[in-house]
């Protein structure tokens, strides 16, 4: 581990060249069960003007690291040794009062979700200007003028206007630009980026990433870039450290770590990153037979009520908001159909329609039977079409045991006789690679990935012909995502069920889907076979989406 030896015994002069050096730092949290270590013997150096990536899954301690550097630890945190030095100055020795002066001025932070990290009741301008007034002693007028300039540098076209807005009047990308402008406002020595694109849409994330690279070049700032996404990190950092269970398992240049990973865990992480060119889906069904035809389906939120339609018939077309409009897709027996799009594109609306959870206009044709309204969806359809939701925490009843949860569809549809239910539940658990003993557990005793497996087992318990997966991997860690996707493919192979897989992860979907439908602003903009993904006649929006996805970790951009 080259990075460690570099800092540990280096002479002071060498240490001072680095913007930040963390030396043999350990942190633990005091809990009812004693001290739980969060970070162990961390060594990490950020040379001046360089960006270091810190990559790890949830619970790896990467966020704890950020809080330690910012000296913003919860009251039960215990620092068990080591040093954190900002330009050679020991931060651990500073009082909270002294830190107040350093935060925002010498080091600042960009957060994951701009919609929660901005104060909803304060104008964006004031939220940038207050930092300038606090740390650079500017007057209000000077600070606002400077804020305008700072916002202009982040690529906002009319910064003056933006300053007067409240957070709810700006888009996610605009808000993140405000947060970035705030972080850069006092020209700090170090900026910590904590998953700054995770909460954003694909195209917006790409723009923010480009902005980050541009600002980095312009300002020569040193940065720590925290992320769970290896592919993404490879585009923006000079060096990378991989953290696992509070220990840095590997450090090195991007090329070194991705081309020749030394630690098993790094290899595992790299393997889990979806590679669009590595096909893992089931074989395409030989002779395509249509299972479900979605025919000009539309969903209008806030549609005029009967009363409104009676009194203001002219408004009928303009009232409300089309969540999805004129969608026509056919799902073939046994295939995996990918539906991709950004948030608000209407992809989840379609999932809800197919699951019978949403009123719609238009027609569904399921296995030769026409359905023209939600009320026409019968019990048989509900058994044959199952849905798995994004958040297993929300879709599993926290008070029911896993066995009860999986047995419910078995009882409801009389899939197996009563005395066989227990055995069938065990079988289903085994099918999703969980021990049969889990039947007695409650959802909170399982990890996120395990809970999602339970939700999948419940869907397949009804022996469906079509399973709708609505962002089922979005809330999971990378390595777990891959396992869940693999599991789905295996189940599809064994049961022959078709699957509508809704996701925003284009790399993942290109590994799994036979055909891909692209949605944008409630409309179907493109629908193509997977082999044609790179064909020239792709819709411009579909093309932009495909291009926005970070390249695979193994091949960083030159």
Partner 1 sequence: MSWGYLIRRLLAVFMVLAIVTFAVFAITTMLPGNAAIMILGEYATPDAVAALEKQLHLDQSWYMQYYSWVSGILHGDFGTSLRLSLPVTQVVGEAFANSALLAATALVVVTITAIPLGALAAIKRGTAMDLGLGLFSYLGTALPEFVTATLLLVFFAAPQQGIFPAGGFVAPWESLAGFGAHVVLPAATLGLVLMAHISRQVRSEMSEVLHSDYIRAARLKGLTEKRVIRRHALPNSLAPAVAVISLDIGYLLGGIIVVEEIFAWPGLGRLLIYALENRDLPVIQAVTLLLATVYALSNLLSDIVIALLDPRVRYA
- Residues lying near partner 1 in the complex (CB under 8 A) are found at 70, 72, 99-105, 108-109, 111, 113, 116-122, 130-131, 134-135, 166, 168, 179, 182
CB of 193 to partner 1, least distance (A): 13
Residue 299 CA, chain-centre distance (Å), reads 26
107 DSSP 8-state letter: E
Q: Two tokens at 349?
A: 């609306």
- For residues 509 and 336, what is the distance between their CA atoms, to the nearest angstrom? 9
Q: Two tokens at 242?
A: 């991989």
Residue 122 or 376 having the CB closest to partner 1: 122
Residue 1 or 99 having the CB closest to partner 1: 99
Residue 116 or 535 having the CB closest to partner 1: 116
Q: Two tokens at 88?
A: 């050679």
- For residues 168 and 307, what is the distance between their CA atoms, to the nearest angstrom? 32
CB of 109 to partner 1, least distance (A): 5
CB of 243 to partner 1, least distance (A): 21
CB of 67 to partner 1, least distance (A): 9
Residue 199 or 480 having the CB closest to partner 1: 199
Residue 130 or 471 having the CB closest to partner 1: 130
Backbone phi, then psi, for 488, in 5-degree steps? Answer: -60, -45
Do the strands 336-340 and 515-520 form a parallel or antiparallel pair, or are they unpaired? parallel
CB of 163 to partner 1, least distance (A): 14
Closest CA to 5 of 248, 169, 189: 248
CB of 106 to partner 1, least distance (A): 9
Exposure of 121 in the CB half-sphere (CA atoms within 13 A): 0
Place of tokens 């069960």: 33
Residue 70 or 497 having the CB closest to partner 1: 70
178 CB neighbour count, 10 Å cutoff: 27
Name residue 239's beta-bridge partners: 52, 253
Residue 110 or 402 having the CB closest to partner 1: 110
CB of 185 to partner 1, least distance (A): 9
Residue 312 or 496 having the CB closest to partner 1: 312
Backbone phi, then psi, for 146, in 5-degree steps? Answer: -65, -40
317 CB neighbour count, 10 Å cutoff: 9
Rg (CA), the chain: 26
Q: Which H or E run contains 439?
A: none
Residue 199 or 516 having the CB closest to partner 1: 199
CB of 192 to partner 1, least distance (A): 9
- One DSSP character per residue, 247-261 reads EEEEEEEHHHHHHS-
- For residues 201 and 435, what is the distance between their CA atoms, to the nearest angstrom? 37
CB of 208 to partner 1, least distance (A): 17
């Amino acid at each position: 581990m080259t990075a460690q030896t570099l800092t540990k015994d280096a002479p002071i002069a060498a240490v001072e060249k680095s913007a930040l050096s963390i030396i043999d730092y350990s942190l633990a949290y005091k809990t009812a069960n004693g001290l739980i270590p969060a970070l162990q013997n961390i060594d990490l150096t950020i040379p001046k003007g360089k960006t270091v990536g810190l990559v790890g899954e949830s619970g790896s301690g990467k966020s704890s690291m950020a809080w330690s550097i910012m000296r913003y630890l919860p009251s039960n945190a215990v620092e068990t040794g080591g040093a954190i030095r900002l330009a050679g100055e020991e931060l651990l020795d500073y009082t909270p009062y002294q830190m107040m002066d350093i935060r925002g001025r010498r080091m600042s932070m960009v957060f994951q979700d701009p919609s929660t990290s901005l104060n909803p009741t304060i104008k964006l301008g004031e939220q940038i200007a207050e930092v300038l007034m606090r740390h650079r002693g500017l007057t209000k007028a000077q600070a606002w003028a400077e804020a305008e300039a700072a916002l202009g540098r982040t690529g906002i076209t009319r910064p003056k206007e933006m300053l007067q807005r409240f957070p709810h009047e700006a888009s996610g990308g605009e808000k993140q630009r405000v947060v970035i402008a705030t972080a850069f406002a006092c020209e700090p020595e170090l900026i910590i980026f904590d998953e700054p694109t995770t909460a954003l849409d694909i195209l917006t994330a790409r723009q923010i990433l480009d902005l980050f690279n541009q600002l980095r070049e312009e300002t020569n700032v040193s940065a720590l870039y925290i992320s769970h996404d290896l592919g993404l990190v490879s585009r923006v950092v000079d060096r990378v450290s991989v953290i696992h269970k509070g220990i840095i398992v590997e450090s090195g240049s991007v090329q070194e770590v991705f081309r020749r990973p030394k630690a098993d865990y790094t290899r595992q992480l790299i393997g889990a990153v979806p590679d669009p060119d590595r096909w893992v889906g089931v074989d395409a069904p030989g002779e395509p037979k249509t299972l479900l035809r979605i025919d000009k389906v539309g969903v209008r939120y806030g549609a005029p009520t009967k009363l409104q339609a009676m009194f203001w018939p002219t408004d009928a077309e303009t009232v409300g908001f089309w969540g999805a409009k004129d969608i026509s897709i056919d799902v073939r027996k046994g295939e995996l159909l990918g539906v991709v799009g950004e948030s608000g594109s209407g992809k989840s609306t379609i999932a809800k329609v197919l699951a019978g959870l949403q009123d719609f206009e238009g027609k569904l044709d399921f296995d030769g039977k026409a359905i023209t309204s939600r009320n026409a969806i019968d019990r048989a359809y509900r058994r044959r079409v199952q849905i798995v939701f994004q958040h297993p925490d929300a879709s599993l009843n926290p008070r029911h045991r896993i066995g009860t949860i999986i047995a419910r569809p078995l009882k409801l549809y009389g899939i197996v006789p009563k005395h066989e239910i227990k055995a069938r539940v065990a079988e289903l658990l085994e099918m999703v690679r969980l021990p049969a003993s889990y039947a007695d557990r409650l959802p909170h005793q399982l990890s996120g990935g395990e809970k999602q497996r339970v939700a999948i087992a419940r869907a397949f318990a009804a022996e469906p012909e079509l399973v709708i997966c609505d962002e089922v991997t979005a809330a999971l860690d990378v390595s777990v995502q891959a396992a869940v996707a693999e599991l789905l493919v295996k189940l599809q192979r064994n049961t022959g069920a078709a699957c509508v897989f809704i996701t925003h992860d284009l790399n993942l979907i290109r590994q799994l889907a036979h055909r891909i439908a692209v949605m944008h602003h409630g409309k179907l903009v493109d629908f193509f076979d997977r082999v044609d993904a790179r064909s020239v006649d792709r819709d411009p929006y579909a093309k932009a989406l495909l291009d926005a996805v970070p390249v695979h970790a193994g091949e960083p951009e030159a």
